[in-house]
Amino acid sequence: MKTNIQKQSKFALVRAIILAITVSALPVLNISPASAAPITGRSVVLSNSVGDASGVSYALTTAALPTSGTIVKSVEIAFCDSLVGACSTPAGFSASSSTLASQPGGLGDASGWTVSAATAGSLRILNASNATTPSGAVTITWNSVHNPTATNTTFYGVITTYSGSDWTGALDTGSVALSTATQIQVALTVNEALTFCTGTSITGQNCGTASGSQVSLGDGSTTATATGTSIIAASTNGNTGYSVTVNGATLTSGANTITALSSGGASVMNSKQFGLNLADANTTPIVGAAKSGSGTAAAETNYGTNDTFRFATGETIASATGPSNANTFTVGYIANIDGITKPGVYTSNLTYIATANF
Amino acid sequence: MTKIKIKLLSKKITYAIFAGVLLLAYYPNIASADPITNRSVTIGSSLASASTTYNFTFTAAQATTIQSVSFAACTTASGACTPAPGFSASSSTLAAATNLGSGGTWTVDTGTAGELRMLNASNTGSPSAGITANFASVTNPSATNSTFFMRIATFSGSDWTGAIDTGVVASSTAGQITVAAAVDETLTFTLASASVNLGTLTKVSTGTGTSSMTVGTNAESGYTVAYSGDTLTSGVHEITAMGAATTSTMNSKQFGINLMANTTPSVGTDVTGTGSGAPETDYDTADTFKFNTSGDVVASAGGSTNDNVFTTSYIANIDSSTAPGAYTTVITYVATANF
């Protein structure tokens, strides 16, 4: 008999303990009161989904609260690993440093709301003085939240509004699912580049279209200046840009030459002259064209002045001082002869060299 | 059974570690290769397939002594190097190497066609900023208007092992531009007037007049100007041509010319212009005139010449017996260039 009593007593004790545990666990399980109405149109937008990220904004948006006749004095989003069973805060999640980005909307009073960062696992705000019933869509944004540690992992937020300013007296509730995600790093290697081409025709700055290598100045005359053009296109990502030099001899026919304008000068008819420039608007004679393209390269001073022509082998004719998109330069050539210029076909083979400086 | 599996796994791990160590030993400095800075290559000619110079300038990142350097010509800046087609270092020579350290002499190695190489097993010390390495007789890639990349690598060993620093420079071939101008054969010859009036002649004055002609040529051997024609004639009467060069004498029958500025009588102007043409003998002395009815050369240039303007002075004298009449002559000047 005594044994039975002892057994019954033990059984009762166990039942009491189970009951006590169950009752005490109710808040933890987030089991909402039967009267709590479901919140609709709810979402929480994260400013950053990277696992373990800090300084993240959590923006809650919902439709107008269903319990519109009761004043809301506190709101909470409890973050859990699962919506089933007791709420276990996702590892790494922390609201301990959370701040309220701005006064919430749709909760009643437009001011007086403050954050409570006392519960690491929940984002909370309160306004004990709120005297206005909720109306319209609800918006609350917390800043400085620390994301859960795990990457590509779903976690949940349980939203609850309360009539008490101490997160008691639950009114409406709803849950949202969120997830962290792996940050994608996109990488691109940019190698050293120098694009350079010459020709008598280049479409835009496209070196793939470069063609032609012969510039005919026509027949020399003592009363007219012979002219012609060729094209140069260049670009580089070189740290200190690039330079282009011109290399070659003056117009030559056997032992006879047409004097190069080695110091630069204007075109003068009835004198022996050979020169070039990259100027944009020569008028005496009319030859050449303005540079094109979005690059920052420019003609050198000695080769960039309108109506002044020059030719000295090895000299730099154009350059860019830093990385430059493509530019196309038109090289204008002029040749004059005097009365004693020996007849013949005068030619000059010019090589342009681009040097990029990385 | 489990024991055996563990043993096998242990062996596999050991082999893997050993292989890794061997790999690192073979490429001991790959992981630590630093980027070369301020790097550029200036090529002497951008013409495709040209044999030219390659002048490198760069600054090493590390102070480690360099004993060899390579410059590989590749079609890309990174990844496996595909040699730039046509590029060849097989005939390359080393023209200069500076700021690489001290001791020994840098020499070229032409054993690898696709890359320029230099070595100095005796080099000591650290490189300084602004290293130069100038090569000659390097053959450019064969494609025109084509970018290629020179991959620079420095090594601590004199056999291109033990990489220290690396860097890439981009360069490009380009099309050669041929500028051509034709200069045709020229002869400038113009006569300013078609008639010369010597006025009314008297025995106490000399009739004078002038005509001018402009002559120039680019002919190799210059030109000659000759005249032809008769003396002044009126019907059957004529004024005697001055067959030999002589002075003007009034009250005598004379018809002559020269190309000078004369004082007796005052007529004519010396030759002008930048050309090298000049009056011929017998026509080049002031106050001395001549007219050869068989024709004669009055001016010439021995080579190509810019334009000259010659003034032909005509004089005529008559004596008391000269029959009245209108005396005329038609003189033809012919310029002949000798190319």
pLDDT exceeds cutoff 60 at B314? yes
- Based on C-alpha coordinates, what's the Rg of chain B? 44
Mean of the per-residue pLDDT values for chain B? 92
A352/B188 touch (CB, cutoff 8 Å), yes or no: no
* Shortest CA gap A302–chain B (Å): 20
Q: Residues 6 or more apart from B22 whose CB is under 8 A from it?
A: none
Residue that finishes a domain, picked among B140, B172, B204: B172
Q: Is B167 on the interface with A (CB under 8 A)?
A: yes
Query: What mean pLDDT comes out for the span A18-32?
Result: 40
Question: Does A242 lie in the same domain as A279?
Answer: yes
pLDDT of residue B7: 54
* Shortest CA gap A182–chain B (Å): 28
pLDDT of residue B1: 41
Question: Does B234 lie in the same domain as B125?
Answer: no
From chain B, the residues in CB contact with A258 under 8 A are 181
Question: Does B192 lie in the same domain as B266?
Answer: yes
A49-68 tens-digit pLDDT: 999 999 999 999 999 999 99
- Name the pLDDT band for A190 (thresholds 50, 70, 90): confident
Q: Which residue in B291, B297, B299 sits closest to B215, CA to CA?
A: B299
Is residue B4 in a domain?
Answer: no
pLDDT exceeds cutoff 90 at B23? no
Is residue A14 in a domain?
Answer: no
Mean of the per-residue pLDDT values for chain A? 91
Q: How many Cβ atoms from other residues are within 10 Å of residue B291's Cβ?
A: 28
Percentage of chain B lying above the pLDDT 90 cut = 89
pLDDT of residue B15: 52
Task: Tell me phi and psi for residue A38, to 5 degrees.
Answer: -75, 135
Residue with tokens 């002395």: B285
A255-292 tens-digit pLDDT: 999 999 999 999 999 999 999 999 999 999 999 999 99
User: What is the number of domains present in chain A?
Assistant: 2
Question: Does B43 lie in the same domain as B166?
Answer: yes
pTM for this one?
Answer: 0.72
Is residue A186 in a domain?
Answer: no
The answer for B 215-274 residues in CB contact with A (under 8 A) is: 216-220
Cα B122 from chain centre: 45
A197/B172 touch (CB, cutoff 8 Å), yes or no: yes
Residue with tokens 């296109």: A233
Query: What mean pLDDT comes out for the span B136-148?
Result: 97
Q: Residues 6 or more apart from B287 whose CB is under 8 A from it?
A: B247, B248, B260, B262, B263, B264
Question: Does B208 lie in the same domain as B88?
Answer: no
Residue A48 sits in a domain of what CATH number? 2.60.40
Q: Is A173 on the interface with B (CB under 8 A)?
A: no
pLDDT exceeds cutoff 80 at B299? yes
Which letter does DSSP use for residue A340 in this model? T
* Shortest CA gap A17–chain B (Å): 48
pLDDT of residue A130: 98
Question: Does B232 lie in the same domain as B91?
Answer: no
Question: Does A64 lie in the same domain as A168?
Answer: yes
Question: Does A46 lie in the same domain as A104?
Answer: yes
Residue that finishes a domain, picked among B172, B203, B224: B172
For residue A310, with 0-12 CB atoms within 10 Å meaning exposed, 13-18 middle and 19 or more buried, which class applies?
Answer: buried
* Shortest CA gap A184–chain B (Å): 24
Is residue A268 in a domain?
Answer: yes
B25-55 tens-digit pLDDT: 333 334 457 899 999 999 999 999 999 999 9
pLDDT of residue A188: 83
Instruction: ipTM value, please give it.
Output: 0.75
pLDDT exceeds cutoff 50 at B20? no
pLDDT of residue A7: 55
- Name the pLDDT band for B12 (thresholds 50, 70, 90): low
Question: Does B311 lie in the same domain as B284?
Answer: yes
Chain B residue with minimum CA distance to A314: B44
B181/A207 touch (CB, cutoff 8 Å), yes or no: no
Question: Does A265 lie in the same domain as A351?
Answer: yes
- Name the pLDDT band for A2 (thresholds 50, 70, 90): very low
Question: Does B222 lie in the same domain as B115?
Answer: no
From chain A, the residues in CB contact with B184 under 8 A are 219-220, 343
Query: What mean pLDDT comes out for the span B47-68?
Result: 97
The answer for A 318-337 residues in CB contact with B (under 8 A) is: 331, 333, 335, 337
B interface mutation test: which of A188, A195, A198 has the most B CBs within 10 A?
A: A198
Q: Which residue in B188, B193, B190, B184 sits closest to B223, CA to CA?
A: B188
User: What is the number of domains present in chain B?
Assistant: 2
Is residue A189 in a domain?
Answer: no
Question: Does A241 lie in the same domain as A128?
Answer: no
Is residue A333 in a domain?
Answer: yes
Q: Is A125 on the interface with B (CB under 8 A)?
A: no
Residue that finishes a domain, picked among B109, B144, B172: B172
pLDDT of residue A278: 98
From chain A, the residues in CB contact with B172 under 8 A are 194-197, 354
A131-171 tens-digit pLDDT: 999 999 999 999 999 999 999 999 999 999 999 999 999 99
pLDDT of residue A183: 85
What is the identity of the amino acid at B101? G
Question: Does A174 lie in the same domain as A77?
Answer: yes
Q: How far apart are CA A240 and CA A103, in angstroms?
A: 52
From chain B, the residues in CB contact with A333 under 8 A are 179
Chain A residue with minimum CA distance to B215: A339
Question: Does A335 lie in the same domain as A233?
Answer: yes
Residue that finishes a domain, picked among A136, A153, A179: A179
Chain A residue with minimum CA distance to B187: A339
Question: Does B101 lie in the same domain as B58?
Answer: yes
Residue B128 sits in a domain of what CATH number? 2.60.40
From chain A, the residues in CB contact with B171 under 8 A are 194, 354-356
pLDDT of residue B79: 94
* Shortest CA gap A79–chain B (Å): 44
* Shortest CA gap B20–chain A (Å): 27
B interface mutation test: which of A196, A251, A274 has the most B CBs within 10 A?
A: A196
Question: Does B103 lie in the same domain as B56?
Answer: yes
pLDDT of residue B17: 44
Of B46, B176, B186, the CB nearest to A349: B176
A350/B178 touch (CB, cutoff 8 Å), yes or no: yes
Question: Does A311 lie in the same domain as A198?
Answer: yes
Q: How far apart are CA A355 and CA A234, in angstroms?
A: 10
Task: Tell me phi and psi for residue B330, to 5 degrees.
Answer: -115, 120
Question: Does B101 lie in the same domain as B209?
Answer: no
Question: Does A314 lie in the same domain as A286?
Answer: yes
pLDDT of residue A132: 98
- Name the pLDDT band for A36 (thresholds 50, 70, 90): confident
Question: Does A274 lie in the same domain as A150?
Answer: no
Is residue B46 in a domain?
Answer: yes
User: B20: part of which helix (H) or strand (E)?
Assistant: helix B2-26
Domain that holds residue A49: 33-179
pLDDT exceeds cutoff 60 at A17? no
Q: Is B43 on the interface with A (CB under 8 A)?
A: yes
Question: Does A123 lie in the same domain as A37?
Answer: yes
Of A238, A335, A342, the CB nearest to B181: A335
Is residue A136 in a domain?
Answer: yes
Question: Does B206 lie in the same domain as B83?
Answer: no
pLDDT of residue B33: 72
Is residue B275 in a domain?
Answer: yes
Q: How far apart are CA A32 and CA A78, in angstroms?
A: 13
Question: Before B324, cis peptide (omega within 30)?
Answer: no
Percentage of chain B lying above the pLDDT 70 cut = 91
pLDDT exceeds cutoff 70 at A172? yes
pLDDT of residue B11: 56
Question: Does A174 lie in the same domain as A198?
Answer: no
Of A191, A339, A344, the CB nearest to B307: A339
Q: How far apart are CA A44 and CA A41, in angstroms?
A: 10
Is residue B8 in a domain?
Answer: no
pLDDT exceeds cutoff 50 at B129? yes
Domain that holds residue B319: 187-337
Q: What is the DSSP string of B161-223?
A: -SEEEEEEEEEE-BPPEEEEEEE---EEEEES-S-------BTTB-EEEEEEEEEEE--TT-E
- Name the pLDDT band for A11 (thresholds 50, 70, 90): low
- Based on C-alpha coordinates, what's the Rg of chain A? 41
The answer for B 80-119 residues in CB contact with A (under 8 A) is: none
Q: How far apart are CA B179 and CA A345, in angstroms?
A: 10
From chain A, the residues in CB contact with B216 under 8 A are 339-340
